[in-house]
Amino acid sequence: MASNNLNVTFNNSILRHNHYPKYLGITLDRTLSFNKHLTNLAAKLRTRNNILYKLAGSTWGADASTLRTSALSLVFSTAEYCASVWLNSPYVSKVDSVLNQTMRIISGSIKSTPIEWLPVLCHIEPPKIRRQQILVREFKKVSENLDLSIHQDIIRFNRLKSRNPTVKTAQQLVTNNFNGYEEWIASWQSRADPAWHPLLDPKNPPQGFNLPRKIWVRLNRIRTGHGRSGSALFKWGMRMSPECDCGAASQTMHHIAYECPTRRFSGTTSDFLHATARSIQWLNQLDIEL
């Protein structure tokens, strides 16, 4: 009760001072761009990512499965609140960049990792596809039940001028038989090297999902080819030279896994794809941090 009163006071004071009206928890701005709403939302999500960092970063480090469940309930559920109203906003990228960070935490990926890897490694549909799924689900529910009071809300939102109404988007998706899984697979296969295509199975997480945090992170950095290799550290100005201690001119992730005479792996990409026992053993015994 006490905290409810506090929230009411807080919201009222925001309304008084900033003149941004709220409707059903959505901050509205004059042009209906949702800039203010999504900026605030992104800030809120960043503080939730900090909780995930703590779960992932300790020496025992929660496994990917635990982090994924926590991320869905702490971050994604908040990130998707009323998404069917604002998903066409030009400011959606503010939220997506925080969600990408959420997925980097779960998968242990570094910033340079191409974003198409993140949903695949985390077994979470890409944020845009998740929002489209929500929109289609809600649109179907509402159009099938005229008694729902939300009909009034839709009428109200439609009265507000929007250049890109989400109702229209929903109609288009339904007409085109939108299927989130198919979209996801098509987008992954158009971007990833064919060797990695089987890594995406919308029904099951990638192999290695329950490995100890340390091995899971190393595995994904080898898979993506993005990690703290000598050449990356050199590029970031954290090392004097990109060389490997074996004498090779450039210590890339590929060099470490497949070329380095000191530590290269005797298997293939397929071992890392399937997280085979010998690939896990190699990752465990690796003498450098990735």
State the burial class of residue 214 (Cβ atoms within 10 Å of its Cβ: 0-12, 13-18, 19+): middle
Q: Tokens 């969600």 appear where? A: 99
* Window of 7-15, 102-110, 138-146, 241-249 that interacts with Zn ion by CB under 5 A: 241-249
| Closest approach of Zn ion to the CB of residue 281, in Å | 19
- Answer yes or no: are the C-beta atoms of 9 and 17 closer than 8 Å: no
Residue 154 lies near Zn ion (rule: CB under 5 A): no
For every residue of 173-229, DSSP letters joined together read HHHTT--HHHHHHHHHHHHS-GGGGGG-BTTBPPTTTTS-HHHHHHHHHHHHT-SS-
What CA–CA distances, in Å, run from 3 to 9, 78, 124, 161? 10, 19, 33, 35
Residue 246 lies near Zn ion (rule: CB under 5 A): yes
Assigned token pair, 112: 């340079």
Residue 52 lies near Zn ion (rule: CB under 5 A): no
| Closest approach of Zn ion to the CB of residue 263, in Å | 7
Cβ proximity to Zn ion: between 71 and 260 the closer is 260
**Is the C-alpha dihedral spanning 133, 135, 138, 143 positive or negative?**
negative
* Window of 53-61, 140-148, 171-179, 242-250 that interacts with Zn ion by CB under 5 A: 242-250
Residue 244 lies near Zn ion (rule: CB under 5 A): yes
Distance CA 143, CA 75 (A): 29
Neighbours of 12 (CB within 10 A): 10
Number of residues that bind Zn ion (CB under 5 A): 4
Residue 253 lies near Zn ion (rule: CB under 5 A): no
* Window of 51-59, 120-128, 178-186, 236-244 that interacts with Zn ion by CB under 5 A: 236-244
Question: 25 — phi, psi (to 5°)?
Answer: 85, 5
Residue 136 lies near Zn ion (rule: CB under 5 A): no
DSSP state of 26: E
Q: Applying CB under 5 A, which of residues 136, 222, 248, 253 lies at the interface with Zn ion?
A: 248
Cβ proximity to Zn ion: between 55 and 253 the closer is 253
Neighbours of 199 (CB within 10 A): 17
* Window of 60-68, 75-83, 138-146, 256-264 that interacts with Zn ion by CB under 5 A: 256-264
Cβ proximity to Zn ion: between 50 and 262 the closer is 262
Residues 215-234 that bind Zn ion (CB under 5 A): none
The helix or strand, by DSSP H or E, that contains position 71, with its residue range, turns out to be helix 64-71
| Closest approach of Zn ion to the CB of residue 260, in Å | 3
| Closest approach of Zn ion to the CB of residue 108, in Å | 22
* Window of 10-18, 230-238, 243-251, 280-288 that interacts with Zn ion by CB under 5 A: 243-251
Q: Applying CB under 5 A, which of residues 38, 55, 260, 273 lies at the interface with Zn ion?
A: 260
Cβ proximity to Zn ion: between 150 and 288 the closer is 288
- Site residues (CB under 5 A) for Zn ion? 244, 246, 248, 260
